Amino acid sequence: MNQEVVITCAVTGAGETQHKHPNLPITPKQIADACIEAANAGAAITHIHVRDPKTGAGNRDHDAFTEVVDRVRSSGVDVVLNLTTGMGGDYVVGDEVPTDPGPGTDFVMPEERVSHVDLLLPEICSLDCGTMNFGEGNLLMINTPAHLRIAAQHIRKLGVKPELEVFDTGHVWMANRMVADGLIDEPPLYQICLGIPYGAPATTAAMKNMRDMLPEGANWTAFGISRHQMPMVAQAVLLGGHVRVGLEDNLYLERGVFASNGQLVEKAVKIVEMLGAEVVGPDAAREKFNLNRQK
């Protein structure tokens, strides 16, 4: 069991949830305010996507990332910023000609996917460590080994800690290989992502299996989506890890009741403390994860 727990809050994500939650953070100000709310509720880290203010769809807009980061940094609230690099890996197979990208495709080279990290130098950025069927349609999340190595080398040169996002056991294998090859500075930080169709399920067995594959000395955190969010909070703590909650992964505080990011963090804090563990703040997270404090 982990006695000192770091909570990450993923405040908005990039999924098509803007029409499913009445107060999902969409504008840069709303996303920054959500980060501050989460930090005040007990999150040491906030994981940040940005969205098109007009449509609510996820995007990679540099100006939006810059505004969010500037607003949080100037707020006086101390929280570790974790910027996504997941956007730019989506390929929708064409219905008639599979090599023709379908609507919703956003697939670019790794240097472009991490370009906002160059600009803003957060303490952490995510790095999705494999390719996966995503949902029920023709969407593929593509992260080839060659692209991952390019991104990992680039992130390492910046002094930013990559959070190795692993959605299935093959992703852990790939991430471990990059660690062994010296592309990831010690200690590595893994995020075990559970319940996303069609990766690993949100179960105790899946979490333990993936945890058991991690290299000695690795730090890890985990989450489950939707109704599995809070059960996976408890399970991660019991298995020795850290936790993630937030509206990216789950929209509800309880059945039929929409949540805010702060409420989800508060609920996670309660679970951690009821298990007899302590929730720690951003300075402890920096020390545990060996982060380089940037701008």
Give tens-digit pLDDT for 233-258. 999 999 999 999 999 999 999 999 99
User: What mean pLDDT comes out for the span 119-126?
Assistant: 98
Whether residue 212 lies inside any domain: the answer is: yes
Instruction: Please give the structure tokens belonging to residue 12.
Output: 């908005």
Q: What is the CATH number of the domain that holds 59?
A: 3.20.20.70
pLDDT at 11 over 70: yes
Contact by Cβ (8 Å): 217, 187: yes
Is 220 part of any domain?
yes
Residue type, 39: A
Q: Average pLDDT for residues 105-124, to the nearest whole number?
A: 97
pLDDT value for 294: 61
Residue whose token pair is 């593929």: 140
Distance CA 3, CA 252 (A): 27
The whole-number pLDDT of residue 135 equals 86
Contact call for residues 221 and 6 (beta carbons, < 8 A):
yes
Residue 122, CA distances (Å) to 72, 82, 128 in order: 12, 6, 17
Contacts of 41 (CB under 8 A, 6+ apart): 9, 261, 262, 263, 265, 266, 269
Q: Mean pLDDT score of the chain, rounded to an integer?
A: 97
Supply the range of the domain harboring residue 197. 4-289
| Other Cβ atoms closer than 10 A to 165 | 22
Residue labelled with tokens 């990290």: 117
Q: Enter the DSSP assignment of 96.
A: S
Q: What is the pLDDT of residues 24-79, one digit of tens each?
A: 999 999 999 999 999 999 999 999 999 999 999 999 999 999 999 999 999 999 99
Q: What percent of the chain has pLDDT over 90?
A: 98
Q: CA–CA distance from 219 to each of 68, 101, 162, 189, 285 (Å)? A: 27, 37, 12, 5, 11
Residue 295 lies in a domain: no
Confirm whether 123 is domain-assigned: yes
Tell me the pLDDT band of 295, cut-offs 50, 70 and 90: low
Does residue 262 have a pLDDT over 90? yes
Instruction: Report the C-alpha gap between 40 and 266 in whole angstroms.
Output: 10
In 3D space, the residue among 120, 79, 84, 90 whose CA is nearest the CA of residue 12 turns out to be 84
The pTM for the full model equals: 0.96
Q: Is 293 exposed, middle or buried (0-12, 13-18, 19+ CB in 10 A)?
A: exposed
64 residue type, one letter: A
pLDDT band at 293 (very low <50, low <70, confident <90, very high): confident
Looking at the 3D structure of the chain, how many domains does it have?
1
Q: Is residue 28 part of a domain?
A: yes
Is residue 294 a part of any domain in this protein?
no
Q: What average pLDDT does the segment 87-98 reach?
A: 94
Mean pLDDT of all residues in 212-237: 98
